[in-house]
């Protein structure tokens, strides 16, 4: 569930905006591009139902769930976290999220450029697939991850995309493969594999692109409050033999304490907004 949480916000923002509609609209969550997020949506709605009376919005809860999941994933960045978004219950327009089977890289790049994101931004955002697994693109291979270390926010996604064929048991999305070879994105895929600087460069570029993604459709930006300080500290190292943290730790379901911490973060920011 932790990995799904890290992917929840990009899909919430990627269509009509960061407005919480992925949680609030029963229609939007059932679209094919959102398959696999139903369980985390159910958990989020339980938290929202319990704490919305304190002013927590679905849009902000999605942000915190994504940001907490990302920073607690080993090597994940600590993202700028802004609070104060307004909710929208209506489903966002259909057809704005491209298919995972899309192979026209030019179309994919232009789709993001139309939302003010460069090819460089797109290449960085795709790196979130380092903690992803596929369940529905090819049901016969359900559960296969998109790189060999799915519990670590590392560059293996980019490194393994450079291989002629995916490693055994690793699934490669056609859209990812197309972009790894395309003009405008292939050079960033290569840059992110650099042994010395790749992780730092990718985290920086992902963070910058993500913050902009998290503000799509938000028309009260000047009234948002920076609540980054309530996020947990980044996990800057990990061990393959250690049980805490481990490459699989971020794939575990959210514990009650983790869920409670996320809600505490949101409530603290609501308090900051009030005072």
Residue list, annotated binding site for heme b: 129
**CB-based contacts of 26-34 (< 8 A; 24+ apart in sequence):** 27/91, 28/91, 28/92, 31/94, 31/97, 32/136, 33/97, 33/99, 33/100
The pair of structure tokens assigned to 76 is 């994940």
Could you tell me which residues come within 8 angstroms of residue 26 by beta carbon, excluding any fewer than 6 positions away? none
Nearest CA among 50, 56, 72 for reference residue 20 = 56
The span from the CA of 148 to the CA of 153, in Å, is 11
Binding residues: 17, 19, 21, 129-130, 147, 149, 154
Binding residues for Ca(2+): 17, 19, 21, 130, 147, 149, 154
> DSSP label at 137?
S
The span from the CA of 59 to the CA of 29, in Å, is 14
Peptide bond between residue 245 and the one before it cis (omega within 30 degrees of 0):
yes
Q: b vs e for 204-241, b when ≥16 Cβ sit within 10 Å of the residue's Cβ?
A: ebbbbbbeebbbbbbeeeeebeebeebbeebbeebeee
């Amino acid at each position: 569930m932790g990995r799904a949480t890290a992917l929840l916000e990009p899909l919430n923002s990627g269509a009509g905006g960061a407005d919480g509609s992925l949680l609030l609209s029963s229609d939007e969550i059932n679209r094919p591009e959102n398959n696999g997020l139903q369980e985390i949506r159910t958990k989020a709605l339980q938290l929202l139902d319990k704490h919305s009376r304190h002013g927590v919005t679905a849009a902000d809860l999605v942000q915190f769930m994504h940001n907490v999941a990302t920073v607690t994933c080993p090597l994940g960045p600590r993202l700028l976290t802004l609070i104060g978004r307004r909710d929208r219950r209506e489903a966002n327009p259909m057809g704005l999220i491209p298919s995972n089977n899309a192979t026209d890289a030019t179309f994919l790049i232009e789709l993001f450029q139309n939302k003010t994101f460069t090819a460089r931004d797109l290449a960085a955002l795709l790196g979130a697939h380092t903690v992803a697994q596929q369940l529905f693109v090819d049901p016969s291979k359900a559960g296969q991850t998109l790189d060999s270390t799915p519990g670590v926010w590392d560059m293996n996604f980019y490194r393994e995309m450079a291989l002629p064929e995916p490693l055994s048991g690793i699934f490669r999305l056609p859209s990812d493969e197309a972009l790894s070879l395309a003009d405008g994105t292939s050079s960033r895929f290569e840059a992110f594999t650099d042994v010395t600087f790749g992780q730092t460069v990718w985290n920086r570029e992902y963070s910058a692109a993500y913050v902009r993604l998290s503000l799509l459709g938000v028309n009260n930006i000047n009234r948002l409050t920076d609540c980054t300080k309530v996020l947990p500290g980044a996990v800057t190292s990990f061990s393959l033999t250690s049980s805490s943290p481990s490459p699989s730790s971020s794939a575990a379901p959210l514990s009650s304490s983790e869920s409670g911490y996320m809600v505490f973060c949101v409530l603290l920011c609501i308090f900051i907004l009030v005072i």
